[in-house]
Structure formats: C-alpha cells, structure tokens
Amino acid sequence: MNPEQAYQELLARARELALIGSVNGVLGWDQEVNMPRKGAAWRAEQSAYLAGLAHRKATTPEINDLLSAIEESDLVSDPLSDVAVNAREWRREYDRATKLPTEFVERFSRTASLAQNIWAEARARADFSLYAPKLDELIELTRQKAEYYGYEDKPYDALLDEFEPGEKTENVKRLFAGLREELVPFLQEIVDAPKQPDFGLVEDREYPVERQRILGEMASAALGLDYASARLDVSTHPFSTNFGPGDQRITTRFDPRNFGDSFFSILHETGHALYEQNLPDEFFGLPRGSAVSLGIHESQSRTWENLVGRSQAFWRYFFPLTRQIFPKTLSDVRMEDFHFAVNAVKPGYIRVDADEVTYNLHIMLRFEIEQAIINEGLPVEEIPAAWNALFKAYLGLDVPDDSKGVLQDIHWSFGAMGYFPTYALGNLYAAQFFAQARNDIPDMDVLFAAGNFEPLLNWLRQRVYQHGQRYRAHELVQVVTGKPLSYKPLMSYLRDKYSQLYGIA
C-alpha cells in the first residue's frame, strides 16, 4: 500500500475517532454539570454506545495494515516529524486498544457511568456501603483490564502506563521517597513555626458566590483563558474537559464562606484549559496536537494554580482587584496577610483543598492504596480502614467520615486507577519547568505584579504546548530543562517560599 495514502486514510479515521470521543466528552460533562438524577441510566447507555463504537473503529485490523505501511516507509525516517509522531502514538493506542475486547470496553464504560451517580450519592450521605458493591465491580474490571494489557512486574504498572505513558511504578516510588524524606521534616518545621497565617481571612469570611464567580472569571481571563472558547460551570468535583477546537469547559464549586476553594480550583482548571487552548488546532484529535500525558497536563494546572496563582507577585497585581470585588469583606486586610493566608499550610482531609506542601502526601497515600487494591487484592470493605490508617500516618489526622476520606474523589468511580500518581508527577514537572522559565524570563515577578502573564504563556506555548506529543513526558522534561525529572526543583521551590513566609531560618 502507498504509505502516503495510508497516512491520509489514518488521518480520516483519527478525525472520526476525535469526533466520537469529543461527543462523549460532551455527554460526560453534561452528566456532571447538568443531568437530572433519573437521566443516569440512559446516559450510561449513550456513553457506552459511543465508547463501543469508538473502540470498534480503533481496533479494526485495517488500522494495523495502514500503520504497517507507514512504519516501513520513509515517512517516519525523522522520528520527530509530524507523521512519525502520529504513527508512533497511533501504534501505541492500537496495540493497547486491541488488547481489550469491545464487549469489555462497553461493560466498563456502562459500569463506570452508573458508578458515578452512586458515588455522588454515597459521598453526599457519607456512606461508603452504598458505593462498595459498584466499586467492587469496577475494581474487578480494572484488574481484568490490567491482565488484558499485560505487565512485566506488577499489574499496577499496566494501569499507570495508561495515564503516564512509559512511567514505571518503581521510578515513581523512588521520586516519591526522595521527596518525602525532605518534605516530612520540612512540614514539621512549618507546623512548629511561631509565625502562622490567619487562614480565617480566606476560609471564614463572607464571599458571596456570584462575586466569587466574577472574580474567578476575571483571574482566569487575566492568565490568558479565552472565554470566547471556554465556559465556567459548577459541579460536585471541579474538572476540565475539551469539547474540540474552540470549546473548553472548566468547572468549580462554590462555598460562600471560603475564598480559596473555588478560586484556586478555577485557576487549576484554567491551567488545564490553557494547555488545551494552545495546542496546535490544525492537529486536533491527532497525537501531534494532543497533550503529552496526564502528568504534563497536571503540571500546567499546578503551574497556573500555585506557581503563578499563589505567588506574591500575582497578588501584588490581583489583591487590589479582589478587595474591590469584596469591599465589605476585605477592607481591613493587607495584601501580605491575604497572600500568607492563601498559602496556609495545614494538614487537612480533602486533597483538592490541600496546600502545596501537604498535597503530595495525599497522593502518596492514594498511590499506596491503589497498589494494595490492585497488586495485593485488598478487599473493598477494608479500603476505608486502610485509607484512614495511612491518613493518620501521613497527615496525623483521624478521618471523621468517609465523605472526607475515601469517598472524596471521583476518579475511582469512572474506573481511573493509576491516575492519582500523575498529580504528584505534575507537581514535579511544574516546578522543574518553572525554574527553567524563571531562568529564561528573569523579570517574571515584575511582569506578574503588573498583570502581565503573557510572557510565561508564550514560553509555555513554545516550550511545551506547540509540541503536542512530539516528545514523551520524560523526553520533554529533558528537552525543556536539559535534565531528567527530579524532585529537587519542587523541594527547593517549597523550601524557599515557605521558609520566607513562615520565617524559618
């Protein structure tokens, strides 16, 4: 077969899969944001149908023939060319997808779709037993999935590889162990520091919801989010999704007495959406126009949420605006105290509320639990106790009920195990990229303080976004920073920032 023709044919098929996948994205978003309760059963059928359709189309043996025609041709002689990048990732997807029977994919999708509503109800009632039978089903399906995919060492590797291609459990363990060794004593220094923030400023004052929404939209627009192709909505658990070129959706949730919960969720999801909005549109739906991995994706959300959004320079610019939006609430508050308050380090129950210092401990806990479930067969009814015991060990707290513990996250309910570690990897990538950006843009703090975030956005466009999947995550970090991924830039950033804030010598 003519390789050029084969490539054109694969492009057309990729476009069809992108259409189906993006439609399923609309269904998933609507399910979280809008859907009335009784719509769940039919929505599950709709999603499962599209997932099955996509899977059949992605696994037809013709794709193998078309790919082979390219792989044996000159079209891929430059491994960084658009064709070669697409072919490489299509091959990966095809090989993975053909390992799962269509019937299995449909069953998985249907179960996960139903599980999400059950999870939401169980969480609202703080009753794990409502959720346990469905979760057990999903775990069994997830173990089956790992077996279908295959693995060298432990089944968990097969799951991790789905979200962070090429990443290994052992490498993550090594990075996490190094970080924990330095982080835990540093956290103790922070907790013991005599200077402490007044976090009541941001967690226990009146922040009317409609004003929070306006300020959140202002901030995300200031960072560069284009609202002609984006929307902010409300859901139980904040998330972002991409419906296609020109249509990114982010969500948050509002608490009328808590400023940070919604504000930093919005900045977080804005980071995800900025990555999607700035991928090359001409390659939409192709590997060459797609995000590298969940870890790299998370690095962008954490960059804009934390490295930018919790910086002193950002608040120099944004605090006067914030005080104008909440004049009654903040008239007596100084910028320095507000900035300290939004950076309060405080071991707490909820991952998405966690500060930068404790956040990774939440992830390490999930990483351990997931390995226990998948590799060691931890029974579903023992998960809450295992969770609570590890939580006590890592964060020193007794979990009061499961809505603040094992039920807090949506991920397992859509069948995503192996996903959590990518959050902490994201923090590592973010810090390493950002150290490089600081090096390349020396006056970054001055720019931020003037409300100018475009130089950083442009730097990310050029260094990260424009490449799509040209590089795998571990290659990208090498290309951008000249070094392999390390926990040291994150640790160094945390040490500098929080030593100064808390007056630690």
Residue with Cβ nearer its own copies (18 or 357): 18
Q: Are 148 and 460 in contact (CB under 8 A)?
A: no
Stretch that binds its own copies, among 15-23, 89-97, 329-337, 357-365 (CB under 8 A): 15-23
* 312-325 helix and 209-223 helix, angle to the nearest 10 degrees: 140
Nearer to its own copies, 32 or 164 (CB): 32
Select 16 or 475, whichever has its Cβ closest to its own copies.
16
Q: How many CB atoms lie within 10 A of CB 414?
A: 18
Measured distance CA(472)–CA(92) in Å, rounded = 12
CA dihedral 21, 25, 26, 30 (to 10 degrees): 150
- Answer for the pair 357, 186: CB distance below 8 angstroms, yes or no: yes
Exactly one of 11, 49, 189, 458 binds its own copies (CB under 8 A); that residue is 49
- Which of residues 263 and 284 has its CB atom nearest to its own copies in the complex? 284
Q: How far is the CB of 45 from its own copies (least distance, A)?
A: 6
Q: List the catalytic residue out of 269, 276, 305, 370.
A: 269
Return the amino acid letter for 358: T
Helix (H) or strand (E) holding 83: helix 82-97
By CB under 8 A, the residues from 272 to 291 that bind its own copies are 284
Least distance in angstroms from the C-beta of 227 to its own copies: 7
Q: How many CB atoms lie within 10 A of CB 410?
A: 19
Phi and psi at residue 258, to the nearest 5°:
-125, 115
User: What is the distance between the alpha carbons of residues 140 and 146, in angstroms, rounded to a whole number?
Assistant: 10
Torsion 218-221-223-225 (CA) sign? positive
By the rule CB under 8 A, 35 interacts with its own copies: yes
Would you give the binding string for its own copies spanning residues 243-262, x where CB under 8 A is met? Answer: xxxxx---------------
Could you give the 3-state DSSP secondary structure of residue 236? coil
Q: Which residue bears the tokens 């926990």? A: 487
Instruction: With CB under 8 A as the rule, give the number of residues binding its own copies.
Output: 35
Q: Which of 420, 385, 389, 421 is nearest to 128 (CA)?
A: 385
Residue from 121, 129, 227, 484 touching its own copies (CB under 8 A): that is: 227
In 10 A of CB 58, how many CB atoms?
23
Using rule CB under 8 A, residue 229 touches its own copies:
yes
Q: Which stretch binds its own copies (CB under 8 A): 36-44, 143-151, 379-387, 469-477?
A: 36-44
How far apart (Å, rounded) are the C-alpha atoms in residues 9 and 63?
9
**Helix ranges, 224-331 (H):** 259-277, 294-302, 312-325, 327-330
Residue type at position 244: G
**Residue selected from 9, 13, 46, 136 as contacting its own copies according to rule CB under 8 A:** 46
The answer to whether 209 contacts its own copies (rule: CB under 8 A) is: no
Q: Which x/- pattern, by CB under 8 A, does the window 98-127 give for its own copies?
A: ------------------------------
Stretch near its own copies under the rule CB under 8 A, chosen from 34-42, 154-162, 172-180, 321-329? 34-42
Which window, 46-54, 299-307, 377-385, 476-484, contacts its own copies (CB under 8 A)? 46-54
Tell me how far CA of residue 84 lies from CA of 67, 69, 392, 471, 476, in angstroms: 11, 12, 48, 11, 16
- Has 269 been annotated as catalytic? yes
Q: At what angle do helices 359-376 and 155-163 cross, to 10 degrees?
A: 130
Question: Which tokens sit at 14?
Answer: 């990729």
Stretch that binds its own copies, among 13-21, 83-91, 144-152, 493-501 (CB under 8 A): 13-21
DSSP state of 308: I
User: Rounded to the nearest whole angstrom, what is the least distance from the CB of residue 217 to its own copies in the complex?
Assistant: 12
CB nearer its own copies, residue 47 or residue 142: 47
Q: Does 208 bind its own copies (CB under 8 A)?
A: no
From the list 36, 61, 185, 377, which residue makes contact with its own copies (rule: CB under 8 A)? 36
CB proximity list for 107: less than 8 A, separation 6 or greater: 48, 141
The whole-angstrom separation of Cα 172 and Cα 54 is 32
**Does residue number 22 form part of the binding site for its own copies (CB under 8 A)?**
yes
Residue closer to its own copies, measured from CB, 148 or 243: 243
Binding span for its own copies by CB under 8 A among 40-48, 164-172, 216-224, 466-474: 40-48
Member of 40, 126, 130, 132 binding its own copies (CB under 8 A): 40
Of residues 122 and 485, the one with the C-beta less far from its own copies? 122
Residues annotated as catalytic (active site), given as ranges:
269
List contacts with its own copies (CB under 8 A). 16, 19-20, 22-23, 26-27, 30, 34-43, 45-46, 49-50, 226-231, 233, 243-247, 284
